[in-house]
Structure 1
Amino acid sequence: MLSEIGQNIRVAAALVVDDEGCPLLVRRNGTKWFMQADGRIEPRQDPLLTLRRELYEEIGVTFGSGDVHYPGRFDAPAANEAGRTVEAELFRFLLTEAPIPAAEIEEAIWVRPDAAERRPLAPLIRDHVLRFARVMSYVRLYKWRIFLARRRIC
């Protein structure tokens, strides 16, 4: 049974970033923890289909399969269910539209990766997702600097 203490919670999670590399954080109704948008994976359901369904229900967002990158699978203690672990299939994609909180989402905010830790964060986003977002921001900045350097040479 899913509600048993100690049983893992399988989710499809989204590292949604804007065009400046800032991740989207959401907060569910009645909780204090900010986290990435996600949804529980039903038995035998594809994680990407789960994510597509949940993002549409929770923040009114759709995305194409070609826009998604799969950084991997990450585990962390569950923020709202003591004694349980979240197993997340993490997907990353760029969002150019404004999210609209719906369903159980009370708040959705864009935050710079280096400023996110000023908020109460769920363990998965604090320990894994934001680290990945920071790395991607550094990679983006590095590529931009190379681009600018090449323009000066030519």
Structure 2
Amino acid sequence: MSTEIRVSAVAFLRHDGEHRTEVLTVRKRGTELFQFPGGKPEQGESPVDAAVREVHEETGVLLTVASLRPLGRYHAPAANEDGHTVVADVFTTVWTGGTPPPASEIAENRWAPLGTPEVTPDDAAHPLAPLMFRVFPAIAAGIPDLR
């Protein structure tokens, strides 16, 4: 039996200048898989408020609730906790800046191209958490025109 872990996450979307959309991913210290910035809500905290707080802690970026668009709630095997399922409230935001610096427990930030063969579950250069493969198709289906 799997235990659920509730999280809030933000998919930063940007246009790469070559007609592709990229999504910001982060890798926490001591882990191998890249995932969305985000984390567990504090007691009594709403999913969107948790997303704003966690993104600020992990990237230094101070988003507003108004800048986030709810994408949905997704379930996937937890990336770093065997036998657990992550239940993620995922939000999107369009990003026009550079790569935010890693902060807090984040070791590395990278942009992953969305909807291209370069990003697969077995990509050794950019291994992604299982949640990413549940969410990427939904993002691709509703991408705003970033050009």
Same fold (TM over 0.5): yes
Q: Which has the larger radius of gyration?
A: 1
1:1-154 equivalence runs, <5 A: 6-20=2-16, 21-98=21-98, 99-113=100-114, 114=116, 115-117=118-120, 118=123, 119-126=126-133, 128-137=134-143, 140=145
Report the structure, 1 or 2, having the larger helix content: 1
Gaps in structure 2 of 5+ consecutive residues: none
* Count of aligned positions: 136
Aligned to 2:113, the other structure's residue is in SS state coil
Report the structure, 1 or 2, having the larger strand content: 2
Distance 1:65 1:53 in 2: 10
Instruction: Name the residue aligned to 1:150.
Output: none
Post-superposition Cα deviations, 1:78-121, rounded to whole Å, max 9, x if no partner, equal 01100000000010001222311011111111121113323211
- Cα RMSD (Å): 1.9
Letter in 2 for 1:53: R
Q: TM-score, normalised by structure 2?
A: 0.83
Post-superposition Cα deviations, 1:2-32, rounded to whole Å, max 9, x if no partner, equal xxx8321100011111144310011111111
Distance 1:64 1:50 in 2: 11
Q: CA deviation at 1:62?
A: 1.4
Any runs of at least 4 consecutive aligned residues in structure 1 with deviations exceeding 6 A, and if so which? none
Q: CA deviation at 1:38?
A: 1.2
Distance 1:8 1:16 in 2: 25
Tell me if structure 1 keeps the 8 A contact 2:75–2:85: yes
Gaps in structure 1 of 5+ consecutive residues: 145-154
Q: TM-score, normalised by structure 1?
A: 0.80
Q: CA deviation at 1:132?
A: 2.0
Tell me if structure 1 keeps the 8 A contact 2:49–2:65: no
Letter in 2 for 1:68: L
Percent identity of paired positions between Structure 1 and Structure 2: 35
Letter in 2 for 1:55: V
